[in-house]
Amino acid sequence: MNTFKLNDNTNIPSVGFGVFMVPNNGPTEEAVSAAIRQGYRLIDTAAAYQNESDVGKAVRNSGIPREEIYIESKLWLQDYGYEAAKKAIDTSLKNLGTEYIDLYLLHQPYGDTEGAWKAMEEAVRAGKIKSVGVSNHTVKFLDRLIPKMEIMPAVNQMECNPFCQQKKLREYLDKYNIKVQAWYPLGHANRDLLNDTRLVQIAEKYGKSVAQIILRWHLQEGIIAIPKAASEQHIRDNISIFDFKLTDEDMTVIRSMDKGKGTHNPDDMTNAVTLGMYKIH
């Protein structure tokens, strides 16, 4: 598996498997088990997905040594603040059935992120977490939080795909060597994206699917992609992107597709109210 080096000198697989909206108590375990069989070594979950326990079961039952599988989870808004975050980290560890989490993120940029980050930093020092990062954090929120951090985020997980390339944010993150990790890397099955004639032509040239072209674009841009797939065929296809390389011309064509916005704008503060109403315990 191809990896990227993070700013804390750890390595992260360049492509992962996401389990957003996959039910617990069976379906997530089956999906993650299939992904591990196909060669995935990064599994992305979150406390808010409420399927951490299935992820843990799949990892334990895989026959793969724990240190060879990269587990990522996220702290939910309900558990922001120093004391609440400390408890939530231990709850995630218990749910996952592991002694440490490879990467742990602030899932949203609202509320007491400073207190939550302090708890996450302490968990790193205690060996409970290897790397810390953020998710859905725009420049506005990072400007507020970074001066208060002792450990710099290694990753910012954001919506990112050819229609939503996060160019300005990526320039900002480059100053701190923070890697972008893409949710909705395939546009959440956006038909306009997957049927775009420019991508179709590139896919035909390489004998690949449009999804594989998009994921290869992420790889060559240095973006960690977290695609989600239901069928084992698509799970396999999404990781079969290491046997070809897009040309500079191909990359330029895909870069020209950027529309500058996606499905979610974290700077819209109505999101803070809406997401704050979602309770996980």
What's the pLDDT tens digit per position in 64-104?
999 999 999 999 999 999 999 999 999 999 999 999 999 99
Is residue 3, in this structure, part of any structural domain at all?
Answer: no
* Residues contacting residue 183 through CB under 8 Å, at least 6 positions apart: 18, 20, 135, 157, 158, 159, 160, 226
Which position among 40, 49, 110, 184 bears the catalytic label? 49
Is residue 2, in this structure, part of any structural domain at all?
Answer: no
Is residue 18, in this structure, part of any structural domain at all?
Answer: yes
Tokens, residue 213: 């072209």
pLDDT digit string, tens, across residues 226-249: 999 888 899 999 999 999 999 999
Q: Which of 125, 32, 27 is nearest to 73 (CA)?
A: 32
Is residue 241, in this structure, part of any structural domain at all?
Answer: yes
Q: The CATH number of the domain where 106 resides is what? A: 3.20.20.100
pLDDT digit string, tens, across residues 144-188: 999 999 999 999 999 999 999 999 999 999 999 999 999 999 998
| Phi, psi for 222 (deg, rounded to 5) | 80, 25
Is residue 4, in this structure, part of any structural domain at all?
Answer: no
pLDDT at 194: 96
Is residue 19, in this structure, part of any structural domain at all?
Answer: yes
- Residue 202 domain boundaries: 11-276
Tokens, residue 199: 């991508």
pLDDT at 9: 98
Is residue 5, in this structure, part of any structural domain at all?
Answer: no
Task: Label residue 37 exposed, middle or buried (CB < 10 Å: 0-12, 13-18, 19+).
Answer: middle
Is residue 41, in this structure, part of any structural domain at all?
Answer: yes
Question: Is 49 labeled as catalytic in the residue annotation?
Answer: yes
Number of domains, the chain: 1
